[in-house]
Structures are given as C-alpha cells and as structure tokens.
Structure 1
Amino acid sequence: MPVYSMTGYASGQSAAGSGHPEAEPRSTSAGRLGVEIRSVNSRFLDLTFKLPEELRQHEPMLRELLTAQLKRGKVELRAAIESGAAGGIGDPSTKLLQRLNGLQDSIRSWLPTARELSVADVLRLAAGDTTARSDWGPELSELAGKTLKGLMTSREREGARLAKMLQDHLARLRALVAQALPLVPQLVEQQRSRFLERWQEAMGASGGTTPPESAQDRALAEATAFAIRIDVAEELTRLGSHLEEIERLVKKGGEIGKRLDFLIQELHREANTLGSKSATLELTRIGVDMKVLIEQMREQVQNIE
C-alpha cells in the first residue's frame, strides 16, 4: 500500500444540469457547481464543511463520503454554486421589479420581521433563482467523489516524497550506528585501564596501607561498574531494531502515522541515553548527529496518515 500524507488539495467544477463534473465550463442559466477539498495534518480526523444553504442538507452524505476514504487529518470541504446566466448579471424588467415589490409588501404585512429583499436576492430571482434547485444531491455527490479522488492522488504523491525522505534518513542513521559500534569495546577497555592506573597511583601516594591484592580487586570492581554505566551497546542494538521496524512500516504503507510517531519517540529516547553515557568526543558527535536526523524524521512523520 502507498504511504499517504495528510497534506493535500483538490478542486473540481461542473456545469449544472450537464451531469458531467469537470466538464468544460459553458454559459448556462442553470449555473455551475464547484467543490474544493484541502487537508493538513492532525492527530485525528477533523472534518469541516463550508456549504451554502442550498447544499447544507447534503452534509451527511459528504461526511460519509470523506470518512470512507480518510482516516486522519484536518479536512475542509467547500462547495459553491456560481450563477452561469449568459451575459453576466441579468437586467430585471420593470414588471418583475413591481411584482417582487408587491410580493414583498404582501409577505411583510403578515410577517413584519421578515427581512427586505437585497439587490443580490433580486438579481438571483431575475436569473431564474438557479440556486433554489432541489436536485443538487446527485451532481454534488459525483463531483465531490471525483474531487476526493484528486485529493487522494495529491496525498499519495506527497506521501511518496515523505517515504523517500524517511528512507534516506534511515540509511544515514544506520551509518552512524555502524560508526559507533566499534567504539564501544574500545571505550570500555580504555576506561577500565585508566581507572586502574589512577587507583594504583592513589595507592602509591597513600603509602600502600591497603593490601595490594585487595586494592586491585576493588579497583577492578569499580572500573567494571563504571564501564557498565558507559556501555552503550544495548542502546545501539535497540536503535538498530527501531530502524528496521520503521523501514518495514514505510514499505508496508497504509495507516502507519501513529506507529511511526511512537517509534520516533523511542529513537529519540535511545539517542538521548547514548549522549548521556558518552565518554568520548566521537560518541558525543555521533549522538548529536543522530538527534538532528531523528528530529527531522519526527517533523515529517507528523504529516503521515
């Protein structure tokens, strides 16, 4: 399965009454229907609909359409009806204006709180009141479905870019682990030898009041305990295991964002431990480079569905 980003955008438009979304726009008294969908990253699926009153009844249908395809992301769907009357703005006749004025007076005599007709209302009525259609449902469903496919294509394209970036970062992290592994036994032995030398120097300065064998045993025990504290082999092993799991998930694709986010946290924890245990400048540098790469991965993973 492909890796999907939560970031994407798509739009579509159809000539009302044509029955063919994305048809070549043409002048018509029926108007045109437009839909656009945009999405950004979010922990959960958060849907927002911006619909005119004429389409608000179709929100449940649109919600069902989106939830069937999308699992995470902050998604906004906008729909609009654009008048397509030939010649642009219509020129209402005097007779029509008189009739509208009479109807308004009649209605307001019974409903005093009803608002007055606006210029936009008059122009819409003069154009045939195209937005008062009650059969937008099938056309809206078809156009929204095609626009959603466009959004999925956009999210898949962005997801492929993120997957490639993650693969590159995984390769660089593996290279850093390979650099660190040979340093671990050398570091442990070096610290043990250095600790024993200092202990022997201290014993010589004290006049040898402690029996030599006892002093040496104690020095070795403390050197061993210190070596264990600075041994980062276990952290490097866990880092390698997490990197393998991340690569497996990226190749698998699908809904992997939350699992990747958890693994990135684990990578960050191991890199922090590596840095805190580091007793050499080289291991410190490797730990810093790891944390930089892991932070870059964390930012990208937050955009994956």
Structure 2
Amino acid sequence: MTGFARAEMGEGDRRWSWEIRSVNGRNLDLRLRLPPGCEALEPQLRQAVPERCRRGNISVQLDAARQGQPQSRYRVNRAALDQVIAAIKDVGLQIDAERPRLDGLLALPGVVERIEEEETEEAREARLALLLKGFGEALDGLVRMRAEEGARLARIALDQLSEVERLVGRARSLAAAQPEAQKARFRQQIGELLAQIPALSEDRLAQEFALLIAKSDVREELDRLAAHIDASRALVEAGGAIGRKLDFLCQELNREANTICSKSADLELTAVGLDLKAVVEQFREQVQNIE
C-alpha cells in the first residue's frame, strides 16, 4: 500500500524532520536513512514499523539541520605538529630547501582539529526521546493514509467479487443446460457412427454418455468458486492484515476458472469462464495492494 507522512520537530537552534514513504510490496522491506549520532534509534524503529505495517516497501529518512552557523572551535594537535617538525628537520639535513610556512604546516591533515560540541548523556537521551516522538507522529500519519487507501481498495475488491459471483451464476445456468445439449450432440454423432459400423448396445451407449457428462461437469468447480467468494468477501469486510490470505484465495479462484474453461463443452460457458479469469486477475492485482 502506498502512503507518505512527514513530521518536524526542533530544539534550540536544531531542527529535524522525519519522512516516511510506502509503496506496494509483497513483503515488508524497511530501509532507514539516519544522520550521524542517531544510530541508537534504529532498533526501536525496526521494531515499531512491523507492529503497524505488515506489507510494503517502506523507507524512513531523518534529516537534521541548524538555524544559523554554529560557532566552530579548533585546536592544534601538538603531537602531530611535533612529528611534522621533526620530519622537516631530518629531511633538511639532506636537502637544501626553504623553510615551510606556518600556514602550510597548519594545512597538513591532522595538525588542526575541530573541537566537536560535547553532549551530555541527559541531553542525548532528551534528543532521542524527542526524535522518537516525532517518528511516532509520522508513523501515525502513514498508517492513516494507508488505511484510507485500504478503504477505497476494499470497495473496489467487493465490486469485483460481486462481478465474479454474477459470472458464477451465469455459468450455473449454462452448466444446467449442458447435459441436454451434449445428449443431443451425442445422439447425432452416434447416429452418424451407427450408419457405418455395427450397432452398439444401449448399455454401452449409456456408459459412454455418462463418462462424457462426468468429464464436462463443472458443478463442483462452481460450488468451490462460491465458497471462495464468500471467504474473500468475509476477509475484505473484516479488514486487518488480510493480503496474504487473499493472495491464496486468488490462486484458488483462478484454478477453478481454469478448470471450468478446460472442462467446458459449450462455447458460451467457455466464454463465461474466460470472463471469470479476467475478473479474477483484476481482483488479484488489487489484492497485491492490500496489506
């Protein structure tokens, strides 16, 4: 299921913003992008998302910014500078060269270090708690958006199930008339056959006709289709995490529709079976978007 949510928060001159995006996916795939210093949040995020979202490709991103430029402080790494000076003296005994300039020495990597702002443990815990609260707000927004989409998809799915049910009813009426039509065709074919070969016994004709009817009987498939429709409708109306169960029922609906097409000895019933397959496929595509 698709969705997007954003939440912003601030503390002093610092600002953070959460963005959560969700697109359709067969399973749950969670991706996190956190700025340095926020790695401690990852275990809690990975626990919170599956509790609210069961399927979908979900990406979570936290952006950090500061209002104005922070006042930076620097210090000279005396140990690194001493090593550089000692190396210069050693090389100067072997090579006649100009003395290095001060700005050149300070530009060497590691000689000048930036003093990072130290954060107390209390301040760190308060910052993480603030970020988790903001994440909870963003996750709530994502879940609401996905729920709204789910309600729309449920209406579409129920309409599609009603269409499948209508086609099953049409197939039943055609299947009920099929034995008589087959009997007429069978008698015609047998009449043509008997004109060329010795007569067959009535018992043998009855056996052959019974086998023909059994092979083309689709009543069991239609009964199973009706049961799968009822089960699918009950799941959609109940709501919740029903996507995987509906996936299975879609496979069963498609299996029965295929069998009807393969067993049908009537062009009109075959056409209804093909329509059934088309509507079931549309239903399956919608099910891929349901959690």
> What is the TM-score normalised by the length of structure 1?
0.78
**Residue identity matched to 1:236:** L
Q: Aligned equivalents of 1:183 and 1:244: distance in 2?
A: 22
Residue 179 (structure 2) aligns with: 188
**Residue identity matched to 1:75:** I
Aligned counterpart in structure 2 of residue 65 of structure 1, from 32, 36, 48: 48
**Larger Cα Rg: Structure 1 or Structure 2?**
2
Q: 2:22 is paired with a residue of what secondary structure?
A: strand
Q: Confirm or deny that 1:203 pairs with 2:194.
A: yes
Q: Aligned equivalents of 2:224 and 2:284: distance in 1?
A: 18
**Residue identity matched to 2:184:** S
Q: Confirm or deny that 1:165 pairs with 2:148.
A: no
- Contact kept, 8 Å, 2:20 with 2:138, in 1: the verdict is yes
Residue 87 (structure 2) aligns with: none
Q: 1:240 is paired with a residue of what secondary structure?
A: helix
Aligned counterpart in structure 2 of residue 150 of structure 1, from 138, 141, 144: 141
Query: Map of 1:1-305 to 2, 5 A cutoff?
Result: 6-17=1-12, 30-85=13-68, 100=74, 103-106=75-78, 108-109=80-81, 134=124, 135-206=126-197, 209-210=198-199, 214-305=200-291
Shift of 1:283: 1.2
Shift of 1:64: 2.4
**Residue identity matched to 1:163:** A
Closer, same or farther: CA 149–224 of 1 in aligned 2, 3 Å: same
Q: 1:38 is paired with a residue of what secondary structure?
A: strand
Q: Which runs of 5+ in 1 are unaligned?
A: 1-5, 18-29
- Contact kept, 8 Å, 2:80 with 2:111, in 1: the verdict is no
Shift of 1:197: 2.5
Shift of 1:117: 10
Closer, same or farther: CA 60–189 of 1 in aligned 2, 3 Å: same
Q: Aligned equivalents of 2:290 and 2:82: distance in 1?
A: 57
- Contact kept, 8 Å, 1:35 with 1:144, in 2: the verdict is yes
Q: Aligned equivalents of 1:228 and 1:15: distance in 2?
A: 74
Closer, same or farther: CA 270–105 of 1 in aligned 2, 3 Å: same
Q: Aligned equivalents of 2:6 and 2:176: distance in 1?
A: 59
Closer, same or farther: CA 33–117 of 1 in aligned 2, 3 Å: farther
Q: Aligned equivalents of 1:201 and 1:285: distance in 2?
A: 29
Q: Aligned equivalents of 2:137 and 2:225: distance in 1?
A: 43
Give the fraction of aligned pairs with identical amino acids, expressed as a percent.
Answer: 37
Q: CA RMSD in A?
A: 2.9
- Contact kept, 8 Å, 2:32 with 2:59, in 1: the verdict is yes
Closer, same or farther: CA 111–192 of 1 in aligned 2, 3 Å: farther
Cα deviation digits, residues 8-56 of structure 1 (max 9, x gap): 2111111224xxxxxxxxxxxx221100111223333322210011211
Closer, same or farther: CA 176–110 of 1 in aligned 2, 3 Å: farther
Q: Which runs of 5+ in 2 are unaligned?
A: 85-107
- Contact kept, 8 Å, 1:9 with 1:151, in 2: the verdict is yes
- Contact kept, 8 Å, 2:235 with 2:242, in 1: the verdict is yes
Closer, same or farther: CA 117–182 of 1 in aligned 2, 3 Å: farther
Shift of 1:181: 0.8
Q: Aligned equivalents of 2:273 and 2:82: distance in 1?
A: 79
